[in-house]
Homo-oligomer: A and B are copies of this chain.
Amino acid sequence: MTDDRPLNPALLPAGLRDLLPPEAETEATSVEAIMDAFAAHGYQRVKPPLLEFEESLLGAAGAAVADQTFRLMDPDSHHMMGVRADMTPQVARIATTRLSHAPRPLRLSYAGQCLRVRSAGLATERQVAQAGIELIGPDSPDADAEIAAVGAEALAAVGLTRVSFDLTLPPFVPTLLDEAGFTAEAGASLGRALDRKDAAAVTELGGSLAGTLTDLLLAAGPAERALAALEAAALPPGARALAKRLAATVAAIRARAPGLRLTIDPVEFRGFRYHTGVTLTVYAPGRHEELGRGGRYLCGDTEPATGLTLYPDAVLRAAPPRAPKPRVYVPVEADATRAAALRAEGYATVAGLEAVADPAAEARRLACTHVLIAGGLTALAAE
């Protein structure tokens, strides 16, 4: 119990934090660069509210985050509301209600903050920014590929050019087990062994699939190697169709983004509870933190859709640093039109509010890079 812990006014609840200069500026600029890349591909922005009735927030796709959602009583209607933990279910709601008659393919984008009751997985934050796209209507490898290619372009816009997309196919293992006649109980044991990447247990529990599943487990890695293993495997028709769809998706991504690093884990199926086809997880080279994830699902339980959510906080940590805007100290006696001209050239001006004896010293004190003296712009040497 920590109820009586004395509160320091600087203390924030666990998992919540302030972004200070210059990080807050960098994060906002990165989100807008990502959204600009989405807009350039015809994705149109929507902005759902932070709060909704829990029935609409937690139905369908939203059920996956139900246990992470903060709830509040609405004093107006006396219904329970939830603070969104994920924006995809909100965008799906918009697509199936107010935009149900908008022409398909429907391309929507969104950016905003989400709150979570507990920290999930590796991330320790309870407030998570999201910036994403949804492509609603088509069910094709080209649609899946567009999402990956546009996502890669958005990450490149913030300097992340060497990202890796990890593809999985959550329905593959359940379809394979079902076609091989596994009981639910035997399938669950085998599923847990696959979850643990436990090749010995997969061999032991795999029955007629032991060889196939062990081969596929070991084939996780670069896309072409995994696709070759799937091609070589003896698969029943349903699993074969899923494998072909994955291969077609990889080919479509390669056509759009030839340099993109693609990996496949053919027997991974955790963590994508509402996904019905190819899923994507994005990583920066050498980092374990996810930059984003997405994949194919059913929008409003019936309409084919795919999407990708990027996590700007993680993107910010992985992206190369940005050069700060140059800052000019403008003494109080300086010409205002000169300061306006400097702003138009891209400088930030910091106005003196009273006369100072040494403008250069004052400029340094205020973390300026330049000072305006007698109308002339002087760069200050870094100390």
Contacts and interface: CB of A to CB of B under 8 A. Distances in A.
B44 A98 contact: no
Interface stretch (A113-121, A165-173, A227-235): A113-121
A349 B19 contact: no
Nearest to A40: B343
A10 B300 CA distance: 12
A373 interface: no
What is the count of identical protomers in the complex?
A: 2
Interface stretch (A68-76, A201-209, A262-270, A282-290): A68-76
B28 A45 contact: yes
Contacts of A41: 343, 348-351
Contact of A74 (B13, B127, B365): B13
Interface in A160-208: none
A53 B142 CA distance: 47
A79 to B, nearest CB: 7
Interface residues of A, number: 93
A117 B365 CA distance: 43
A110 B27 CA distance: 12
B350 A49 contact: no
Given A10-B98, A13-B52, A354 B76 contact: no
Nearest to A35: B28
A215 interface: no
A120 B51 CA distance: 18
Given A22-B44, A127-B49, A13 B350 contact: no
Contact of A13 (B76, B103, B325): B76
Contact of A99 (B5, B20, B353): B20
Given A2-B78, A76-B13, A353-B142, A32 B28 contact: yes
A288 B51 CA distance: 28
17 contacts: A2-B77, A9-B55, A9-B93, A13-B52, A14-B77, A18-B94, A19-B47, A20-B99, A24-B45, A24-B47, A25-B39, A27-B47, A32-B32, A41-B350, A41-B351, A51-B127, A142-B354
Given A14-B76, A142-B354, 16 more contacts: A2-B79, A3-B79, A7-B55, A10-B97, A11-B56, A13-B52, A13-B74, A14-B77, A16-B50, A21-B46, A42-B350, A75-B118, A138-B354, A143-B353, A146-B353, A256-B336
